[in-house]
Amino acid sequence: MYNRGFNIADMDYLNAPQLPTLADRLNYAMKQRGIVQDTLAERAGCSQTAVQKLASGKSKTGKSKFLPAIARALDIDIDWLELGKLPPLRTAETSNVYRIRPKDGGPVLLDELSPWDDSTPLDEDEVALPIYKEVELASGHGRSSVQIVPDRKIRFSAYTMRMAGVDPSMAACATNTGNSNFPLILNGATLGVDKGTTRIVDGQIYAIDHDGQLRVKFLYRLPGGGIRLRSYNREEYPDEDYTFDQVMEQRIQIIGWIFWWSTLNHLNSPPLL
């Protein structure tokens, strides 16, 4: 998992003494990203008024429930936006450099690996997320339901969750099956799901419950309340369009937005290119 945002070395970014307030930092980030208030509001799922109050400093407390979504929409660090705090790199060579993701992609930081198993107690900065899977119903004549698996958990850093703008109490994991999103998401990949974000932002990836089947798709809104399901592997999996009535009839429900995924790549896996 990486720290999100810009690279301070590339653009003299996030100078706390010069950007002392949340409004200063928000306006600077918007300028760097080339995003205006109405566009940011749409991407963050809030009103332009909410963004305007934060950007003008008119918010009485300087806090908003939309801050995580705003930080995510700007691709910046939530702790920097809210508190002016920068996460340091954890290497000897760059101990005095703060690394945020640059606009052009650039290098990212991977946290140190720490071995553990199911019997290892959680650290203070760790959370354990439940896992969704398809479960065959006992009296369903082959029908299945997407349910949380008892006693199965995936560990995350609480700081990582905060940087992603995800409330751990509203998060879960799932396992990707199939190659509809190959090679972006491989078969067997573990997915992080934000159940608190079910509003469709066109082109984002979501986990959905399609009449008991767990599916991972890019979603797009269609006129009249319909939705489009799109796969990354569009050559083999064409778009699926559903009207509002079909969505209701086929019980298509959004479980949540996919904020993270991870895959163990095996040598006998099909080639990525």
Which run of H or of E encompasses 244? helix 244-249
Q: Which token pair is 196?
A: 């608190």
What is the predicted pLDDT for the residue at 115? 60
- pLDDT tens across the length of the chain (273 residues): 333 333 433 334 445 457 888 998 899 889 888 899 999 988 888 889 989 999 998 875 556 778 888 888 887 877 778 887 765 444 434 333 333 344 444 444 444 555 656 666 777 778 889 888 887 666 545 667 888 877 788 888 887 787 777 888 889 999 888 899 998 998 888 899 999 889 999 999 999 999 999 999 999 999 999 999 999 999 999 999 999 999 999 999 999 999 888 876 665 655 555
Closest-CA residue to 256 (of 142, 164, 122) = 164
125, 161 contact by CB (below 8 A): no
Residue 74: the pLDDT is 84
Residue corresponding to tokens 């100078």:
15
Q: What is the 3-state composition of the chain as percent helix, strand, coil, each rounded to the nearest 5?
A: 25, 25, 50
Predicted local confidence at residue 68, as pLDDT: 80
CB 232, CB 219: distance < 8 Å = no
Q: 195 in helix, strand or coil?
A: coil
| Omega within 30 of 0 (cis) for the link into 183 | yes
CA 167 to mean position of chain CA atoms: 11
Helix residue ranges per DSSP H, 18-110: 22-33, 37-44, 48-56, 67-74, 78-83
Tokens of 34: 């080339």
CB 205 within 8 A of CB 218: yes
pTM for the whole thing? 0.61
Q: What does the H/E/C string look like for 120-174?
A: CCCCCCEEEEEEEEEEECCCCCCCEEEEEEEEEEEEEEHHHHHHCCCCHHHEEEE
- Which residues 6+ apart lie within 8 Å of 12 measured at CB? none
Position 236 scores a pLDDT of 94
Say what the pLDDT of residue 138 is. Answer: 61
Nearest to 247 by CA among 218, 209, 217: 209
- The Cα–Cα gap between 180 and 215 comes to 10
Tokens 């199911």 sit on residue: 118
**The pLDDT value given to residue 256:** 93
Domains parsed from the chain with CATH numbers:
1-111 (1.10.260.40), 126-262 (2.10.109.10)
